[in-house]
Structure 1
Amino acid sequence: MSASTQAPLSHINTTPTQGRFISFEGTEGVGKTTAIEQLCARLQVRGIDYLRTREPGGSPFAERLRDILLDPATDINDDTELLLMFAARCDHMQQVILPALQRGTWVICDRFTDSTVAYQGFGRAHGDAAVRCKIDMLIEQFVEQLPELTLWLDLPVLEGMARANKRSTADRFEQQATEFFTRVHKGFSTLADEQPERIQRINASGTADEVGARIWQTVKEKLDI
């Protein structure tokens, strides 16, 4: 294939020679960090090369934006917050995610576009159709490859908040009221209903090992490993 006709990286489909892209989603306190650690450990045992990353963040520039977005002292409006999320994501995709997938590395990402829909679309904007349309447009313009599999760790909002409140300091999002996280949870639930093949609900109740086992079973079934 000549250089002039070669498909752009954004349109490359996942193949056996390309890495797999998995994202983890959920409201605060659902146990994503531990779940990701357990999945990565299982991949390592099987000799699967993986890259663990996160959003917002993941690249040097995106991590600088993460500091701004999570800082309780940051005072910005909802549109600015949304655009900063996508600025961080665009750099993260170009600098980290797409190169990793192209070289055959699995990418395990703590949050991705579904969090933007849930937090900025439902949490901030109450699921407003116009805002969701704006987010969808940004996803189409700036996100060049969606996760092949998204694991939504589902936990009752109050239970998750109780876990999160045990942390020493709360970031800008963790300081939001219960009503905000109730809307965020509705956002994740709506997305799971809309995209049932990609987004798999994982019951996040129980011990870390129980949740990890549910995740591994889902990964094996959906990605045929």
Structure 2
Amino acid sequence: MKTVGRFISFEGTEGVGKTTAIDGLCQRLQAAGIDYIRTREPGGSAFAERLREILLDPATDINDDTELLLLFAARCDHLQQVIVPAIQRGSWVICDRFTDSTIAYQGYGRADGDSEILAKIDSLIEQFITPLPELTLWLDLPVLEGMIRAGKRSAADRFEQQAMDFFTRVYAGFSTLAAQHPERIQRIDASGSSAEVEARIWQTVQNSFDLL
């Protein structure tokens, strides 16, 4: 089925169930005959995946500015090599994290909402990142519940090892972004069963792109 290219991102703090939620949406898209690709950040392209290994490695010792620039280097290549070509050929792009995670994690988690850091991130987005997602699905779950879920998975990566107060600031970042961009960022209640969350997501996607 030939479709118009779309760009959807999934966001949330650790353990909210993004992987399972993306699985569900992709199954729905396939059943609807919609061509799509599934990708992630940091990563998504060969070069960006190499940077992902560095960024997530607990042994990596870099300052906040270096971390930020590595994230944007990965994102630029991801856009050029994967996202833009997919949209141009009419595929939907389903991306696990994008610019909102950088604002929430680096702007709020690392910098506690410092206006100068947020302005720096906004400037990088404006200069280098086009297009942005048309729809962002923010999976909203209490931070502690998400951390408990995440703790049941494999060994924690460099970001997952952060303390509770870090993720509380990240959550505040996502909440602020949702208030600032109510048309693009749709809050999805991530509590309940995976089937319930999947149904909420599919309803939101249908409403957003007139698929009903």
Please give the alpha-carbon distance, in whole angstroms, between the structure 2 residues aligned to 1:223 and 1:163. Answer: 32
Instruction: Specify the SS of the correspondent of 1:201.
Output: strand
AA aligned opposite 1:153: L
Q: Equivalent pairs: percent with the same residue?
A: 78
Match of 2:32 among 46, 67, 70: 46
Give, in whole Å, the separation in 2 of the partners of 1:27 and 1:86: 20
Which consecutive aligned stretches of 4+ in structure 1 deviate over 3 angstroms post-superposition? Answer: none
Letter in 1 for 2:192: G
For residue 55 of structure 1, the aligned residue among 31, 35, 41 is: 41
User: Is 2:114 the counterpart of 1:128?
Assistant: yes
1:170 to 156, 162, 165: 156
Counterpart in the other structure of 1:12: none
The alignment's TM-score, normalised by the length of structure 1, stands at 0.92
Please give the TM-score of this superposition, normalised by the length of structure 2: 0.98
Cα root mean square deviation, aligned: 0.9
Letter in 2 for 1:51: I
Cα distance, 1:17 vs structure 2? 5.7
Structure 1 stretches of 5 or more lacking a match?
A: 1-15
Structure 2 matches for 1:100-115, cutoff 5 A?
Answer: 100-115=86-101
Q: Does structure 1 residue 23 correspond to structure 2 residue 9? A: yes
Unaligned ranges ≥5, structure 2? none
In structure 1, what is the Cα distance between the partners aligned to 2:24 and 2:133?
A: 19
1:139 and 2:128 aligned: no
Size of the aligned set, in residue pairs, is 210
Q: Take 1:166 and 1:172, find their aligned partners in 2: how far apart are those partners?
A: 16
Do residues 84 (structure 1) and 87 (structure 2) align?
no
Q: For 1:52, what is the secondary structure of its paired residue?
A: strand
Cα deviation, 1:167-204, whole Å, max 9, x if unaligned, reads 12100000000000000000000000000000000000
